[in-house]
Structure 1
């Protein structure tokens, strides 16, 4: 017998998860307000616990629903009797549809307990395998080019996660821009941005060459060590999910010693963010020195990928922007905008010199970093040679797309 009460409760439960997903994406897991989540679905905070046992359980539910939604999109595309390339295009369009349910970014999986982490990793791994199967069958039917399936699948899921995040960072909340991004992502993944017949550059720069042995004095070396350790932990667990005590413990020192260098945690986080932007700007300096727009864009992508896979640990610009003080948010957004503007200019150079085809610059260039931001979370640790191979695979993914030419 149909139970209207049970149906209403199930619908409310989904509403709680969807609102929590949005809150966690904006403010990070530890920085999110459970009271705000409850209020937006017409509940008291106490009543919210009818749908979850605690914050960690709510995160777990959001992450499992994210995997379930992605699997539904994949299955719908996979079961359609068309070519592999058409299936991939369908999956991408379903994923970025403006009416799609919110999908959590699985960037703070470390806040879950071991059993929960294993469950989420298993769910996500099943989706990776399904996407691999879709792509492999596309290769067999001749519609998708040869590629490293593991790297490409991680890159695709990264782009889909990153797109809504970067809109938060750059305050691109308007529906018109969301529609542009929804149109641009499938086109980028399928067709890339390099015209047919153009030769792909054969020269490659390495991140170690660009950054060099930068820490100079003993104090600078210490500050670099602070930033690497803090950024590694923040990337793993979210900014609000890591305390000064944990950073000090990781470094084998007291919290007091950390306070000797930084007056507060927000000051330390700002330092880590500034260091990340310094790294990305040095990458951009190297890219801008290249001859063509294609070579410059390829260089920027490959150096950024290597930075993420190395022990440099640049801080991710990911979930939790809303947890920053307003002044810090504005400063970080400004640096991000300047970096994005330089990236846009590289693409304009490529379009002008004919090495890149005309495309909708802003949404493509803003979505592209998602292809490599989370690679270190989901791929096995990479040595320098493997990191270089992955970097080249990601640049080919973004520049050539996956459709067989």
Structure 2
């Protein structure tokens, strides 16, 4: 947990006062995290937090200096929670450790204790940003070491442990955002988060293919068809934007977070004036909406490409996942669905729902195939989290091409981590077993 500055502690002393302060700060961070996840960091309003707490805005300043300070504290809390969950799993079997980590993190949301999904660290003060980015990287590295332990013991197939760790954390974060986005008017039932945790662990460990089934094989020509589709939609979306504008905006939004990127930065990156952007869009939010429209144009296009392949529906599901990973690893990615989904028009949610329905129908057909392992239909939404934050860590893997990243990630979803001889043994969720 982030600590308060000494100046904030001067009026209260002793263990009881410290516990009272910690409880209040926990409540503030919980409310702030919920707002950040739903509306993005830019949607956080200290006045609304104070109103929900039943205190004055001035009283809130005893704990946080301003909105940016609150975001930093929420991100610090998330880093601490992830680090603690990974540390508590170190003495377990690697497969059990992954189950425990995912259960612990999503279990907090099931228990009504939300934490913030980290996506806009670039908006923080430099000292906070450097610290948060270092801790995010350290957590991913610690989770990768757990995967490497499973490979070394023979429990897991050989795989890229770093990519696998990023996939796991991405799916956990996405489960938080997606489930609240599709239930905007109600509290997400606790069992939804717990089921999502079970589904994520199941896919990571066992994939969608029956033990002994074929690993993922990318159809000939699919990377070229994906590249052609990405190139066709770039700058030619529903907005009629200038060539390259939507792809550049999407790239920067994905790398740094929508709140952290200004129209000036987008204009400078593409070599336009800000006035040229205003010729197409009234403001950054309008540009962000158009980027989401392009993203779902691409998603539907990826499903169309998969449907045209002369392969099974199980393999088509993997082709869609591969296509998304490949596109998100390029310099013209679809925009990722960041925290702040509730600030988007309802039409974007409708397009997301349409895409999910198409994938669920493909999943239902695949379940009739002998090589398809029985899996929960929610995988079609949850696996999306594996690639949505790909650009935030893409620069760390210059040793892999976009095609290499996509193939590695698709292979994990295809067969899971568990070695064939171990795949029938389900890790226990009971610490006593």
Alignment TM-score, normalising by the size of structure 2:
0.85
8 Å contact from structure 1 (residues 298, 395) kept in 2: yes
CA RMSD after TM alignment: 2.6
Structure 2 CA distance, aligned partners of 1:189 and 1:20? Answer: 30
Residue of structure 2 in register with 1:253 after alignment: 272
In the superposition, relative to structure 1, how do residues 190 and 382 fare at CA in structure 2: closer, same or farther (>3 Å)? Answer: closer
8 Å contact from structure 1 (residues 292, 349) kept in 2: no
8 Å contact from structure 2 (residues 106, 197) kept in 1: yes
2:382 to 364, 367, 370: 367
2:63 to 51, 54, 75: 51
How far off is 1:201 after superposition?
Answer: 4.1
Residue of structure 1 in register with 2:316 after alignment: 296
Structure 2 CA distance, aligned partners of 1:179 and 1:218? Answer: 41
Residue of structure 2 in register with 1:123 after alignment: 135
Structure 2 CA distance, aligned partners of 1:281 and 1:252? Answer: 30
Count residues in correspondence.
Answer: 398
8 Å contact from structure 1 (residues 309, 382) kept in 2: no
8 Å contact from structure 1 (residues 83, 141) kept in 2: no
Residue of structure 2 in register with 1:94 after alignment: 104
Superposed counterparts of 1:6-405, under 5 Å: 6-79=18-91, 82-97=92-107, 98-99=110-111, 101-171=113-183, 173-175=187-189, 176-204=191-219, 205-212=221-228, 213-214=231-232, 223-290=242-309, 291-324=311-344, 328=345, 330-362=346-378, 364-380=379-395, 386-405=401-420
Structure 1 CA distance, aligned partners of 2:275 and 2:233? Answer: 23
How far off is 1:40 after superposition?
Answer: 2.3
Instruction: Point out where structure 1 has 5 or more consecutive residues left out of the alignment.
Output: none
How far off is 1:64 after superposition?
Answer: 1.2
Residue of structure 1 in register with 2:425 after alignment: none
- Which has the larger displacement, 227-236 or 45-54? 227-236
Show CA shifts across 1:150-178 (max 9, x none): 11111111111111111123227431433
In the superposition, relative to structure 1, how do residues 294 and 41 fare at CA in structure 2: closer, same or farther (>3 Å)? Answer: same
How far off is 1:92 after superposition?
Answer: 2.1
- Which has the larger displacement, 339-348 or 94-103? 94-103
- Which has the larger displacement, 146-155 or 192-201? 192-201
Residue of structure 1 in register with 2:426 after alignment: none
In the superposition, relative to structure 1, how do residues 135 and 37 fare at CA in structure 2: closer, same or farther (>3 Å)? Answer: same
Structure 1 CA distance, aligned partners of 2:38 and 2:251? Answer: 20
In the superposition, relative to structure 1, how do residues 87 and 265 fare at CA in structure 2: closer, same or farther (>3 Å)? Answer: closer
Instruction: Point out where structure 2 has 5 or more consecutive residues left out of the alignment.
Output: 1-12, 421-433
Alignment TM-score, normalising by the size of structure 1:
0.90
